[in-house]
Amino acid sequence: MKTTAFLSRWFMVWGSLCLLASSSVMAAEYYLSPTGNDTTGNGSMAQPFQTLAHVESLLAAGDTVTLRAGTYVSSEFRIRYPHITIQSHTGELACIQAPTTNENIGMAIWVDVNAAYTTLSRLEIRGGYYYGVKTESTWNWGGGEPLYGASHLTISDCCVHHTGRDAIKLVPLSDDALIQRCEIHHTGVRDNSNAEGIDNVNADRMVVQACYLHDIATTGIYAKGGATDCVIDRCLIMNTGGLGVSLGFDTSVEWFDAAANPGYYENIRGQLSNSIIVGTHYAGVGLYAAYQPGVYNNTVMDAVQSGQQSALFFGSSWKDWDPSVPHHGCVEPVIKNNIFAVAAGASQAPLVLIRHETELGGFSALEGDADLSNNIYFAPAGIASFEDRRSDFTGGLADWKIHMQSDNNSLEAAPGLTPQYHLQASSPAVGAGVGVNDIIFDYDGSRRDIAPPVDIGADEFISGATLPVPPPEGTIGIGTLGASGGPASHPALWGILLLFQ
């Protein structure tokens, strides 16, 4: 199905580009101001319009909407055409706000199925009965339509908060989304039972970078339902009611692409790197039916506050208990250079837990071996423990290494962090890592290859300025030590990001 979807998206994008090329001369920029006028204004900076509803009716492919500072009421502001940019005026921050109590206004911003290459820049986005921002696709239309979605969405330098449920919702085929330098917080103000910061269901090649997520009702970020080649890099995630980050989770069968993903893996080749995760109710990092995931150079502290799950958790994907589809575990994970620490009050919680289920014919959350090494484990109130329920193993780190035939060069030690979750000079993490996957920048954007060997955790210990954790009031994203907000950790990812600019 993804081959068909790719061709459908290609023709859709090609048509959009042709449309954009033919209309580029006519592309308009409309200004809005709280003091503007939809009747007497003409949309210029001198005579702006006032409402989102009015400008929505005027938009065509390639247009730009520039908002002056102030609050704009959304009755489900819908972007219907490609290459549209919605932005605040330079040096200002406008707020697009929707109620969380009106079910007819499901989201503050709705990126429609034909709205590829939408850009949301320098905006405060608040509310929505369900979502702050939601994409759309033809995935479940059911009428034989070509398969495509609102691909290549860019959300930059935005603050998305106080949403009814999820802050950002990406549906299947909303591929190639870039979410960078954003702050996302206080999800689930209406329904806190299912309210992620970023909820990606089968949207491929999502990049989330340099974002600050906090006070999330459930999980900070997950990419599930078969989401492929997604990268979460240099993010700060604090105070979540679920997991911190999960590569995969538990998705209903209807959202999987069985042709491209016959194994029904929840996540394919996802990467979590150089991120700081602090204060999770459940696992800091979850891996659910993930195929070849990579977890590199993350700092996970104060995890598993509930005492359930583990700092690093291999979880089970049930897929609505459907016996007709495969129920795989995680396959070929690579987990290196991470700091994993449970909360002081979770003394019974293991550092790593691998689940095994007897239902549906029996399946395990990890299939085969895991490539673990150069990690630091810490249980502030006791001794680090590890559980593998495939064989009823429970033990300390030394026995865990023998049992797994892995996790060489890993330590059990206090990680030696500053109050800002950066390494002290005396930290056992300094120089104790291993070079992996050409990841050469750390959380702060500092190079890791200046004085090898590399360090363990999100921070590479280097004398000089570091990003404050959490960022100062008024900062959007994790902050920056330079004008660009720092590069991607992986050279290939940096190349991808350049394509989005």
What percent of the chain clears pLDDT 70, i.e. is strictly above it? 91
pLDDT digits 0-9 by tens, 33-87 = 999 999 999 999 999 999 999 999 999 999 999 999 999 999 999 999 999 999 9
What is the C-alpha separation between 313 and 319, in angstroms, rounded? 18
- pLDDT score, position 24: 52
What percent of the chain clears pLDDT 90, i.e. is strictly above it? 86
Residue 97, φ and ψ in degrees, nearest 5: -125, 130
pLDDT band at 486 (very low <50, low <70, confident <90, very high): very low
Encoded tokens for 327:
């129920």
- Which is nearest to 209 in space by CA: 201, 221, 199, 218? 221
Among 22-31, 133-142, 438-447, 481-490, name the one with the lowest average pLDDT.
481-490
| Burial track 194-212 (b if 16+ CB lie within 10 A, e otherwise) | ebbbbbbbbbbbbbbbbbb
- pLDDT score, position 11: 45
Kindly tell me if the per-residue pLDDT of 255 is higher than 80.
yes
Mean pLDDT, rounded, for 213-223? 99
First to last CA, the chain: 29
Encoded tokens for 29:
């920029």
Q: In terms of C-beta density within 10 A (0-12 exposed, 13-18 middle, 19 or more buried), how is residue 67 classed?
A: buried
Encoded tokens for 12:
């859709």
pLDDT band at 449 (very low <50, low <70, confident <90, very high): confident
pLDDT digits 0-9 by tens, 295-342 = 999 999 999 999 999 999 999 999 999 999 999 999 999 999 999 999
pLDDT band at 489 (very low <50, low <70, confident <90, very high): low
Sign of dihedral through CA atoms 268, 282, 158, 60? positive
- Which is nearest to 107 in space by CA: 163, 177, 50? 163
Encoded tokens for 355:
């689940």
Torsion of CA 240, 241, 245, 247, to 10 degrees: -170
What is the C-alpha separation between 72 and 98, in angstroms, rounded? 9
pLDDT digits 0-9 by tens, 168-201 = 999 999 999 999 999 999 999 999 999 999 999 9
What's the pTM value of the predicted model, to 2 decimals?
0.92
Mean pLDDT, rounded, for 209-224? 99
- pLDDT score, position 438: 73
Which three-class secondary structure state does DSSP give residue 307? coil
What single-letter amino acid sits at 287?
L
What is the C-alpha separation between 172 and 149, in angstroms, rounded? 7
Q: In the chain, what are the domain boundaries?
A: 29-412
Give the start-end residues of each E strand in 112-206.
119-121, 123-127, 131-135, 154-156, 159-161, 168-170, 178-180, 183-185, 198-201
What is the C-alpha separation between 121 and 119, in angstroms, rounded? 6
Among 248-257, 326-335, 389-398, 442-451, name the one with the lowest average pLDDT.
442-451
Q: How many CA atoms lie within 13 A of 303 on its CB side?
A: 33
CATH homologous superfamily of 29-412 equals: Single-stranded right-handed beta-helix, Pectin lyase-like (2.160.20.10)
Encoded tokens for 359:
């239902």
pLDDT digits 0-9 by tens, 111-143 = 999 999 999 999 999 999 999 999 999 999 988
Q: Mean pLDDT score of the chain, rounded to an integer?
A: 92
pLDDT band at 144 (very low <50, low <70, confident <90, very high): confident
What single-letter amino acid sits at 127?
G
pLDDT digits 0-9 by tens, 360-389 = 999 999 999 999 999 999 999 999 999 999
Mean pLDDT, rounded, for 420-440? 93
**Strand 386-388 to 393-395 pairing:** antiparallel
Encoded tokens for 120:
């949301």
Among 7-11, 343-347, 356-360, name the one with the lowest average pLDDT.
7-11
Please tell me the total number of residues recorded for the chain in this structure: 501
Mean pLDDT, rounded, for 2-8? 49
pLDDT band at 480 (very low <50, low <70, confident <90, very high): confident
- pLDDT score, position 465: 79
**DSSP letter (8 states) at residue 232:** E
- pLDDT score, position 2: 59
Among 446-455, 463-472, 476-485, name the one with the lowest average pLDDT.
476-485
- Which is nearest to 467 in space by CA: 450, 488, 446? 446
